[in-house]
Structure 1
Amino acid sequence: MKHLFTLIVFVIYSTFSVAQNSVEVKQNYKSTNLNERPKLVVGIVVDQMRYDYLTRFYNKYGDGGFKRMMNEGFNCKNNHFNYIPTYTGPGHTSIYTGTTPKYHGIIANDWYDKELKKSVYCTEDDSVQSVGTSSSAGQMSPQRMKTTTFGDENRLFTQMRGKTIGVSIKDRASILPAGHTANAAYWFQGKNEGNWISSTFYIKELPKWVTNFNKKHSVDSYLKEWNTLYNITTYTESGSDLNNFEGGFKGKETATFPYDLATLKNENSGYDILKSTPYGNSLTTDFAIAAIKGEQLGSDDITDVLTVSFSCTDYVGHNFGVNSKEIEDTYLRLDLDLERLFKSLDDQVGKGNYTVFLTADHAAVNVPAYLQSVKIPAGYFDSRDFSKKINNFMETTFGASDLIESIMNNQIFLNRKKIQELDLDLDDVQEAIVNEIIGYQYIDKAYTATAMSNTSFSTGIERLIQNGFSQKRSGDVIYVLDPAVISYSKTGSTHGSAFEYDTHVPLLFFGKGIKHGQTLQKTEITDIAPTMSALLNISYPSGNIGKPLEFVFN
């Protein structure tokens, strides 16, 4: 009996200990997976932001925007894109998927579809309908993106309880970051409407908070004079206001301050004029703040994700160039909008409860005409002349005038069916084109699709080309232009290359889980998604090739 009593006591004690340990494990699990996770992750992409905008305008920024991120968070100073082309669609996709066009499939904003035999837009989707507009502007979805985003993975991890909302003036800059499982993505329909819209891919009708935002039509308050925030004589970090390198607006003779937007509206596509001013960024901030409140983002312990892209910096850069007074003013005003957004996060979510990262989808080159004026090699590539020359070459060499189906994004797409009918060898045709165009002015490098598929490049521009090359979607020949040579107008600027001026962009982290510091260690745009995934203790996106930047964590 004594042994039986001892055994019973032992069993009861063991059972109690196991139960107690189980409670402790559950408590620890809750602590690890809930309390240590931020309530809200905010991803900010500033369209066409060069890294040097952080340093060039630093002394004129306030303490609550860019400087707050740098002073409280972590600054990766040597952050680069690791593929080309450096465009908006691929850029936003790569940031949130942790991979490159080679895997996620968004090889450009538009590209030639080899099966459909026509150009397609990265987010167009005729199978869905517009929400919030009677136009086709809402027929968009992420259907062409092949991989998941870290927001998708967070939705899966939380059994769809964690929300994801995308916000941007541009449709592709809202849709692609938000991912496949987003609760909603919203973008701006300008022209004669001036409303925020969406797609039936996400929702059947606009939620009440969006409807109320649109009804207020606060967009009208931004149709005002755009003058410099501070005295223009203090804008010493940019070139002269009157020069030959800027586009400007229809209806105004010179691209100089001030701009009366209400007067210029009708000649510049109505409300779309705001896209090329800093006020479009302010409108985006207004809507993002409304989204935080309307969707109750960060209101519980289940992590939500908000993606915000400031697109107007890109429109201003394309119109006026990276050295313009307009660009400087746009960034000084964006700094104030960031401060406003961060204050709203402090109030609605709480300091220490959210995590933010800020980066760019690409940078930009100085206006080549300006570079030429200061004796730096630059130029303009005539794409029409190139198309004419290469088609003449094909007819002379192979006896056919229809061997090229399309030339887009510095890629040549061949008519493979015709090549087969003529009993030509595809590799030979590709190689012949490479040998021909490498002699053309402004073409620095050229490669065949065969080379991209069969050779592994680990360094240089060749690596970036390969990271952007999709066997199913990319062309038969890829060519690279000389540095600072673009196919664009003589005013304003653009992007897309593998050169430092297009690849070097900011990467700032701050908020919950992020320590204060900085590094010159090279980081890549594909490192952001796994870093956020690691912070959240969730699976990495399905196509991820990046590495988590553990040195940014507390």
Structure 2
Amino acid sequence: MLKNVFLFFSILFVINTLQSQNDNPKLVVGIVVDQMRYDYLTRFYHKYGEGGFKRMINEGYQCKNNHYNYIPTKTGPGHASIFTGTTPKYHGIIGNDWFDKTLLRNINCVEDLTVEPVGTKSKDGKKSPAQMLVTTFADENRLFTQMKGKTIGISVKHRGAVFAAGHTANAAYWWDYEHGGEGNWISSTFYMDALPQWVNEFNASGKAQSYFKTWNTLYDISSYEESGVDANAYERVLKGEHQSGFPHKLDELKTDNGGFHVVANSPFGNSLITDFTIKAIEAEQLGKDNITDVLTVSYSSTDKVGHDYGPNSIEVEDTYLRLDLELERLFKALDEMVGTGEYTVFLTSDHGAPHVPAYLKDSKIPSGLFDLNAMLNDVNAYLFDTYKVSDLALSRINNQIFLDHQKIEAHEIDLQELKTKVSRKLLSYKLISNVYITSEINLFPESSGYQEMMLYNGHHQKRSGDILFTFTPEVFKDTNWNRTGTDHHSGFNYDTHVPLLFFGKGIKQGQTLQRTYITDIAPTISALLGISFPNASIGEPLEFVID
């Protein structure tokens, strides 16, 4: 009798487990649109078609008040935070680059000299997620499924592919377009010893080369009333062009502008991502069984166009109208290859962006550019006058001052006194609003102000610098590259407020103005799948999103 009862409950358990697996989406697709301000959804809304952004909004759930909860708002930290559900304080990605206190040089966030390039000889292939200290929800899904659920990460940028895919990914692919790259999709030995045949075939297809064509507006340029005038002084002028406006003849510009770099810096870079992504879904058989796979797609070219032309440009508007068509193309492919209603998608951004400072100044809005190199030289001159020791400040990267502790100890300089002097010096600059000694940031109480908590969340005790400072609104670093177009890094709304859309299997239809955070995405997807949250996640699952 007991044997029969045990058998009955064993069968019931198996049935419930199978039903639970069948309730999960076959594929989770995490889409990151690089540098997408929230208002790009609303500003261009009436020009979007029904199958891209509007499909997600109308059939899914929109969080309208979604923000980053740390500083700095950069691409590397953004992708790490989206997929881990935590902040730089725990995942350790404190910038796209940072000053390594042991190596005494700047390192890239995905730099890994222990791996070799795959598909290229370029150093851009020596990349991995080794610097990221925690798991992603894709890692947890791999562990939960005994490594049976696949994970593939895709982006033009290496950091957009690597951090999203996580540590246990089957593959992460990024595009070899920098430093004279050959325009191939590449990876590293962290993931594989050689590119799969389907990737080699795609690289040999000539698809990337086909995008050396003229970029003109998708619609009549006179209809782009949501943006400023076409050619203006706030936009970058490419080598070989006499003004910043349309058309941009990429085939003629490629020689003087880095070859495939001009494709990455146009909406056609996003088209190439969709091409490659659809091929990956087919070749890797993603979403073909009841074990959930994860696909991450980071559309990088939106960021590059934004940096070149700024949020008020027709180029940015045209890039988003074209991206809307790319999303529609991707969703149609998912409907066909995975099945309508069998996959789940979320879409967000790694950061926003301010308007071009010169444009804001001309509009009588306070803004500015700050020369960080001149400031570092000025600080070192001040410290030399005070202590008669040269170059006590080694770096100023990510609005952080890194001090030379070996010299400080060798000359028996009082460290706290030095930090206080540097802090007071920094506060004398008009465009610097606040200065913090980073050893004090770890002691901020929970009742601290909003900016203080964002700095707390962005501060990693072992990797961050000695002193940290913030600018007044609408200010970023002054370089020749930054005097036109835009940049990002701050804790102000233009950098923190980004879209968050959920759509597909297991997602309710609706919207909210409740404040949500980027760190809520990973635990929400984990809750949807019934798996462990990423190991350092601090976000809250958005239960009102899940059906």
Q: Please tell me the TM-score bracket, short chain as reference.
A: over 0.9
Residue among 29, 37, 42 paired with 2:24? 37
Name the Cα RMSD after superposition: 1.0
Name the SS for the 1:329 alignment partner: helix
Aligned residue in 2 for 1:343: 332
Confirm or deny that 1:513 pairs with 2:502: no
Q: 1:477 aligns with which of 442, 455, 467?
A: 467
The 1-side partners of 2:49 and 2:474 are apart by 33
Q: Confirm or deny: 8 A CA contact 2:271 2:326 kept in the other structure.
A: yes
Q: 1:203 aligns with which of 192, 195, 204?
A: 192
2:231 is aligned, of 242, 250, 261, to 242
Distance in 2 between residues matched to 1:402 and 1:376, nearest whole Å: 37
How many Å separate the matches in 1 of 2:160 and 2:115? 18
Q: Which amino acid aligns with 2:14?
A: K
SS at match of 1:551: coil
Q: Supply the distance in 1 between the matched residues of 2:411 and 2:77 (Cα, whole angstroms).
A: 36
How many residues are paired up?
541
Q: Give how far 1:244 is off.
A: 0.6
- From the CA coordinates, give the structure whose radius of gyration is larger: 1
* Post-superposition offset of 1:297: 0.4
Q: Is the 8 A contact 1:194 1:217 kept in 2?
A: no
Q: Could you say which residue in structure 1 is the equivalent of 2:63?
A: 76
Which one of the candidate residues 532, 537, 543 is aligned to 1:544? 537
Match of 2:352 in 1: 363
TM-score, length of structure 2 as denominator length: 0.98
- Distance apart, 1:451 and its partner CA: 1.3
Distance in 1 separating the partners of 2:181 and 2:471 = 39
Alignment partner, residue 490 of structure 2: 497
Match of 1:314 in 2: 303
CA distance in 2, matches of 1:135, 1:85: 28
Q: Which moved more, 1:121-130 or 1:415-424?
A: 415-424
Preserved contact between residue 122 and residue 181 of structure 2 (Cα < 8 Å): no
Show the counterpart of 1:50. Answer: 37
Is the CA contact 2:444–2:452 (under 8 Å) kept in the aligned structure 1?
no
Secondary structure of the corresponding residue to residue 114 of structure 2: coil
Q: Which residue of 2 aligns with 1:20?
A: 8
Which residue does 1:447 correspond to in 2?
Answer: 436
Shift of 1:396: 1.7
**1:108-127 per-position Cα deviation (integer Å, ceiling 9, x unaligned):** 00000001111100011111
Residue 77 of structure 1 aligns to a residue in which SS?
strand
Which amino acid in 2 is paired with 1:236?
Answer: E
Deviation at 1:72, TM superposition (A): 0.3
CA contact (8 A) 1:171 1:188 kept: yes
How many angstroms does 1:211 deviate by? 0.8
- Would you say 1:179 and 2:166 are equivalent positions? yes
Paired position in structure 2 for 1:463? 453
Give yes or no for contact 1:97–1:529 (8 Å, CA) kept in 2.
yes
Say if 1:167 and 1:308, in contact at 8 Å, map to a contact too: yes
| Whole-angstrom distance in 2 between the partners of 1:462 and 1:156 | 36
Matched with 1:6 is none
Match of residue 267, structure 1, among 256, 259, 267: 256
Q: How does 1:516-531 map to 2 (within 5 A)?
A: 516-531=509-524
Residue 85 of structure 1, CA deviation: 0.6
Alpha-carbon deviation of 1:15?
3.2
2:376 and 2:395 in contact (8 A); partners too: no
How far off its partner does 1:540 sit? 0.7
| Structure 1 residues 217-232: aligned runs within 5 Å | 217-232=206-221
Query: Counterparts of 1:472 and 1:360 in 2: how far apart (Å)?
Result: 27
Give matches, 1:423-442, under 5 Å.
Answer: 423-442=412-431
Which letter does structure 2 place at the counterpart of 1:230? Answer: Y
- Cα deviation, 1:25-66, whole Å, max 9, x if unaligned, reads 22112212x111110000000000000000000000000000
Q: Which amino acid aligns with 1:131?
A: V
- In the alignment, structure 1 residue 300 sits paired with structure 2 residue 285: no
- Structure-2 separation of matches of 1:409 and 1:136: 23
SS of match in other structure, 1:55: helix
Q: Is this contact kept in 1: 2:185–2:203, CA < 8 A?
A: yes
Q: Distance in 2 between matches of 1:355 and 1:459?
A: 36
Contact 2:70 2:456 in 1 (8 A): yes
**Residue 87 of structure 1: how far off its partner (Å):** 0.4
**Cα pair 1:224 1:260 within 8 Å, conserved:** yes
Shift, 1:460, TM fit: 1.3
Of 438-447 and 15-24, more deviation after overlay is shown by 15-24
Q: CA deviation at 1:455?
A: 2.4
Q: 1:244 to 1:359 in 2, by over 3 A?
A: same
The Cα of 1:79 is off from its aligned counterpart by 0.2
1:348-378: CA deviation from partner (whole Å, max 9, x where unpaired)? 0001110000000000000000000010001
TM-score normalized by the length of structure 1: 0.96
Shift of 1:192: 5.0
Q: Which runs of 5+ in 2 are unaligned?
A: none
Segments of 5+ residues of structure 1 without an aligned counterpart are 1-11
The one of 390, 408, 411 aligned to 1:419: 408
Deviation string, structure 1 residues 170-195 (Cα, Å, up to 9, x no partner): 01100011011000000001235111
Q: What amino acid maps onto 2:13 in structure 1?
A: V
- Say whether residues 1:105 and 2:92 are aligned partners: yes
Matched residues in 2 for 1:450 and 1:165: separation?
A: 39
**Could you tell me which amino acid in structure 1 is paired with residue 428 of structure 2?**
G
> Does the Cα contact within 8 Å between 1:427 and 1:450 map onto a contact in 2?
no
Three-state SS of the structure 2 residue aligned to 1:490 is: coil
- Identical aligned pairs, as a percentage? 56
